[in-house]
Amino acid sequence: MIDKRKRAGAHVIMKKSNTTHISAYARAGVNIDAKMNGLASVKKMVNATATPGVLSGIGSFGGLFAAPGKDQVLVASTDGVGTKIKVAAMVGRHDTIGQDIVNHCVNDILVQGARPLFFMDYIGTSKIDGTMLRDIITGICTACKANGCALLGGETAEMPGVYPPGEYDLVGTIVGVVGRKQVIDGRRVRAGDILIGLPSSGLHTNGYSLARKVIFETAGLGVHDRVPGTGRTVGATLLAPHRSYLKPVMQLLSRIPLSAMAHITGGGFPDNIPRVLPAGLAAIVDRSAWRVPPLFQFIQTTGGIDRDEMYRVFNMGIGMVLMVRPKDVSEAIKILAHAGCSPSIIGAIVIGATPVQMRN
Q: What is the model's pLDDT at position 66? A: 76
Q: What is the model's pLDDT at position 32? A: 53
Q: Is the pLDDT confidence value at 181 over 60? A: yes
State the Cα torsion 220-223-224-230 to the nearest 10°. Answer: 80
Question: Which CATH code of 3.30.1330.10, 1.10.287.3510, 3.40.50.720, 3.40.50.2300 fits the domain covering 19-182?
Answer: 3.30.1330.10
Q: What is the model's pLDDT at position 121? A: 94
For the chain, domain boundaries: 19-182, 194-359
CA distance 320 to 249: 10
Q: What is the model's pLDDT at position 197? A: 98
Look at residues 103, 112, 107 and name the one whose alpha carbon lies nearest to residue 263.
107
CA distance 335 to 331: 6
Look at residues 238, 230, 235, 189 and name the one whose alpha carbon lies nearest to residue 347.
189
Determine what percent of the chain is predicted with pLDDT higher than 70.
83
Is 62 buried (19+), middle (13-18) or exposed (0-12) by CB count in 10 A?
exposed
Q: Is the pLDDT confidence value at 319 over 80? A: yes
Q: What is the model's pLDDT at position 6? A: 39
Q: Is the pLDDT confidence value at 234 over 70? A: yes
Of 124-128, 148-152, 243-247, the one with minimum mean pLDDT is 124-128
pLDDT-derived band at 4, boundaries 50, 70, 90: very low
Q: Is the pLDDT confidence value at 153 over 50? A: yes
Q: Is the pLDDT confidence value at 81 over 70? A: yes
CATH of domain 194-359: 3.90.650.10
Q: What is the model's pLDDT at position 154? A: 87
End-to-end alpha carbon distance in the chain: 44
Q: Which residues of 296-316 are buried (b: 16+ CB within 10 A; e: fewer)?
A: bbbbbeebebeeeebbbbbbb
Indicate the angle between helix axes 246-253 and 95-110, nearest 10 degrees: 20
Condensed to tens digits (0 to 9), the pLDDT of residues 263-286 reads 999 899 999 999 999 999 999 999
Q: Is the pLDDT confidence value at 208 over 50? A: yes
Condensed to tens digits (0 to 9), the pLDDT of residues 115-128 reads 999 999 999 998 88
pLDDT-derived band at 12, boundaries 50, 70, 90: very low
Residue 123 forms beta bridges with which residues? 156, 170
Report the chain's mean pLDDT, rounded to a whole number: 87
Q: What is the model's pLDDT at position 38? A: 53
Look at residues 101, 124, 117, 95 and name the one whose alpha carbon lies nearest to residue 2.
124
Top-confidence residue, 239 or 42: 239
* Contact assessment for residue 348 and residue 285, using Cβ atoms and an 8 Å cutoff: no
